[in-house]
A = this chain, B = another copy of it.
C-alpha cells in the first residue's frame, strides 16, 4: 500500500483526489490537510464521501513526512514552500498547482508575480504528461502535474508537432466548465452569474499560455522541423460544472498526409487517449468523471486548416485523475488502476 497524504484537501482538486483515491486498491490515505477546514470531518464538508473517507482535515503538515507520496492540491505558490523539506525525507511529491510547471524561474516571476523559492527544483521536476514523459515520471521524486487547458491542448497538438506538420499561428479556442475556477466563493462563478451565459476571458494573457508554449517547444520530434509559429489562446467560461473542450486550428504543410492515421498511431497503446473515428465530434460529457481524453480530427473542405477537437474532464485528466495516473507510474502499478470507471452519462 502506498501511504498517501493530500495537502489542501478542501478545494475541488482535493475533493476529486479524495473521490478517486477512496476506491484505489493500492492506496492508504494517511492525512488530508486544510487550513480552512482544519478539525472538520472530511465527510462533513463533502457528504458524498460519507462512509468512504473516515478522516478529519488536519491543520498541521507534520504527518506528511511519514507518507510515501504527497499530493499538493493547493493554490499556486504554496507547494514550493513545503516541497524542499519533504523530498530529502524520501517523500515523493505530485504538485497539482503551477509551482513546478515552468522550468524557467523568470517565467514564474513574470506570470505569477513572485520570486520562486526553490528554482533549483525546477530542473528536477518532471512535467507529468505521461503521453510525453512516461519514462521520466517513472523515476521522478517531484512531478509537476499539468494544467487543465495545457493537458487538452498538448494532447491535441502532439501528433502534429511531432511530425513537424504545422506552420503559422495556432489558434487555441478553449471552453471550460466553472469548476476550473476552484471552489472558492466568488460572484462571477455563482449560478446566478455563470449559468445560462458564456464569455471569453484572459485573451490578453492567461497563465496557461507559457505552460503550453513550453510544452510545445519541448515535444519530442520525429522530424527536423520544429514548430516556430505563434500560439493564440483564448479561454472561455461555459455554463457547466465540468469539462474542457479545446478547439485547435492550425495550418498543415502536407496536403496528402492522412491525419487520422497520424493521430491513431501516435496514441495507439495510450490507455487514456481515445482518437475517435473520422467525422466524430467529442462531447465533454463523454469524459465526465473519467480520466479519458477524446480527440477528433477535421479538415474542413479539405483545405489547409486542420481543426482538432479535444475534450477532457478538467478535474480528472486535467487535474486529480492525471495526478493519480502519474502516481501509478511512479509506483510501478498498472497505469489505469483506480481510473477505470466509464464517464457518468447522462
Cβ–Cβ < 8 Å partners of A276 in chain B: 47, 50
Flag whether A328 is at the interface (Cβ < 8 A): no
Interface pair B342/A283, CB less than 8 Å apart: no
Central interface residue in A186, A197, A240, by most chain B CB within 10 Å: A197
State the oligomeric state as a number of copies: 4
Interface pair B283/A198, CB less than 8 Å apart: yes
Flag whether A334 is at the interface (Cβ < 8 A): no
Q: A189-B192, A195-B241 are in contact. Are A345 and B19 (CB under 8 A)?
A: yes
Cβ–Cβ < 8 Å partners of A288 in chain B: 48, 196-197, 344
Interface pair A240/B239, CB less than 8 Å apart: yes
Q: A185-B186, A205-B301, A346-B242 are in contact. Are A192 and B12 (CB under 8 A)?
A: yes
Central interface residue in A15, A289, A294, by most chain B CB within 10 Å: A289
Per the CB 8 Å criterion, the residue count for chain A at the interface is: 87
Interface pair B50/A274, CB less than 8 Å apart: yes
Interface pair A232/B305, CB less than 8 Å apart: yes
Pick from B46, B300, B342: contact of A232, CB below 8 A: B300
Q: Beta-carbon contacts of A228-263 to B below 8 Å, as 1s and 0s?
A: 001011101011111101010101000000000000
Stretch of A102-110, A144-152, A175-183 that contacts chain B: A175-183
Give A198-251 interface residues, CB cut-off 8 Å to B. 198-201, 203-205, 230, 232-234, 236, 238-243, 245, 247, 249, 251
Sample (29) of A-B pairs whose CB atoms are under 8 Å apart: A15-B345, A23-B341, A23-B342, A46-B345, A48-B343, A169-B251, A183-B192, A183-B346, A186-B190, A190-B190, A195-B195, A196-B241, A197-B243, A197-B283, A198-B238, A198-B243, A198-B283, A198-B284, A199-B281, A200-B245, A200-B281, A200-B309, A203-B309, A234-B298, A234-B300, A236-B245, A236-B247, A239-B239, A341-B341
